[in-house]
Amino acid sequence: MLRRPVESAQYVSIRYTERLAEAGIEPSVGSVGDSYDNALAESVIGLFKTEVIRRRRPWRGLEGVEFATLEWVDWFNNRRLLEPIGNIPPVEAEARYYAAQEATPLAP
């Protein structure tokens, strides 16, 4: 007997979407079972593991991992220069965006 390989995943995805609708929550997905946020999260987690977890091992305890995580997240958001946005940190690009929104008058 042949079974479709994604059958159970499709059921979970459909049930998840239904449950969000029941709760009145907007899903953060493109279509049923197609989560764009998940791909981004997996990429960032992969970067973190490569740049911090594997590079700084061996870890002596959980506290060291926690502090390294805080340091990396601070760097990632506040000091990392990102070429596609003009070699500025993401936090600066966000501040510029919101400043531009405030400066743009709304149509009457």
- What's this model's pTM, rounded to 2 decimal places? 0.58
The set of residues, in sequence order, having a beta carbon less than 8 Å from that of 33 and lying 6+ positions away, is: 9, 10, 13, 14, 17
The answer to whether 87 and 81 have CB atoms below 8 angstroms apart is: yes
How far apart, in whole angstroms, are the C-alpha atoms of residue 91 and residue 78?
5
Asked whether the beta carbons of 72 and 52 are under 8 A apart, the reply is yes
| pLDDT score for 92 | 95
Q: Which two tokens stand for residue 47?
A: 């970067």
Q: Provide the pLDDT for residue 37.
A: 62
Cis peptide bond prior to 84, omega within 30° of 0: no
C-alpha 79/C-alpha 91 separation (Å) is 8
- Both tokens of 28, joined, read 């953060």
pLDDT value at residue 26: 72
**Per-domain residue ranges for the chain?**
9-25+33-55, 60-108
pLDDT at res. 46: 92
Q: List average pLDDT for each run of 10 residues in the chain, which is 108 residues long.
A: 50 72 72 62 90 93 95 94 93 93 76
